[in-house]
Amino acid sequence: MIAARARAVAWSGATVGVLVLAACAHDGRTTILVYSPHGKELLQDVATRFERAYPHVHVEWEDMPSQTVLDRVRAEAPNPQADIWFGAPSDLFARAARDGLLDPFTPSWAAEVPPEAHDSAERWYGTYLTPEVIGYNSQLVPDSVAPKDWDDLLLPRWRQKIILRDPVESGSMKEVFGAILARSVAATGSTAAGWQWLRRLDKSTKEYAFQPTVLYQKLGRGEALVTIYNMPDLATLEQRVHIPVKFAIPTSGTPLVVDAIAVVHGTHHVAEAQWFEEFVGTPAMLLVAARDHLRIPARIDLADDSLPGWIRMARRQIRPLPIDRALLADSLDSWMQYWDAHVRRGG
């Protein structure tokens, strides 16, 4: 099921990538193509600011789910279309690096990123930190009964009231499911307890949404009451879009995803791609991402008082869930194949 979907996405994706590049205006500028799940608002803002700083470069971008980016980059490896991969959990970047799909590059800000937020061979670097949290409809779910931790999601009151992104497509949900299974291995030496937990969550899940907008709309309309998703997107819904949603940071710990960036191996625009990676990680652009797009910077040298209040609050409250990243990089693909075949909708 997953393989067939990946082949279909890869074929259509490679075709679209060629058409996008063919459609670019020939105005003398060098065109680079960015693959990203970050959404059109952030991508267009970054592209506009980068073109202002580098007027001889034109930026095209394609917004797609994290897993789709990896599938596209992998399928296009013999003839790369993208120059930069901007955004997705670092576990996906680690798999791409292992498969020789990324090129090493050391940005000037490399020393300001903690060791766990970059590849040891410098094939990817972290840009943002993305906590995975529990969201709920704030009009229909009182704060006093809203789930506060992962096991609260399994309570009978939430049966068939949970909506989740499809974890086969969503990097955020893959991270959460992988963390549950890795936690099980750490505690018991086996994934059995983790699979039992995920089966119970599946029974309480009303729908797996393929697109984020479907999740947002149904949560906002009360067609589902609870979700698991990343903090920046839920904060955006609450603060900018005014969808009635709040989020709780799980008390026992939350996966803290490192959102990364990398130069795609085989790009014909190596210098321009490196300039783009360098640009995204500068203090000025990280503060733009924090203030205008609600992203938490991965760099550790930014002054706390330069960041929005909700990010300062998150830094104080978040308790990162310890995760064996090597285990995740080696096992997540096979785990998701098993989940898709044997757990989704009772298997």
- What average pLDDT does range 274-286 have in this prediction? 98
Relative to beta strand 84-89, strand 125-137 is unpaired
Residue 329: its pLDDT value, please? Answer: 81
How confident is the model over 148-183, as pLDDT tens digits?
A: 999 999 999 999 999 999 998 888 899 899 999 999
Residue 21: its pLDDT value, please? Answer: 45
Give the domains, in start order, of the chain with CATH numbers: 2-129+258-317 (3.40.190.10), 131-255+322-342 (3.40.190.10)
- Helix or strand holding residue 306 (H, E): none
Q: How far apart are CA 17 and CA 122, in angstroms?
A: 26
Task: Report which DSSP code applies to 13.
Answer: H
pTM of the model as a whole = 0.81
Question: Which pLDDT band holds residue 7 (cuts at 50, 70, 90)?
Answer: very low
Residues 6+ apart with CB under 8 A from 147: 134, 136, 153, 155, 158, 226, 248
Residues 6+ apart with CB under 8 A from 334: none
- What average pLDDT does range 332-341 have in this prediction? 94
Among residues 280, 230, 287, the alpha carbon closest in space to that of 256 is found at 230
Both tokens of 2, joined, read: 């997953």
Q: How far apart are CA 179 and CA 255, in angstroms?
A: 7
Q: How far apart are CA 296 and CA 316, in angstroms?
A: 13
Residue 316: its pLDDT value, please? Answer: 87
Q: What angle do CA 243, 248, 252 make, to 5 degrees?
A: 160
Is residue 27 within 8 A of residue 267, CB to CB? The reply is no
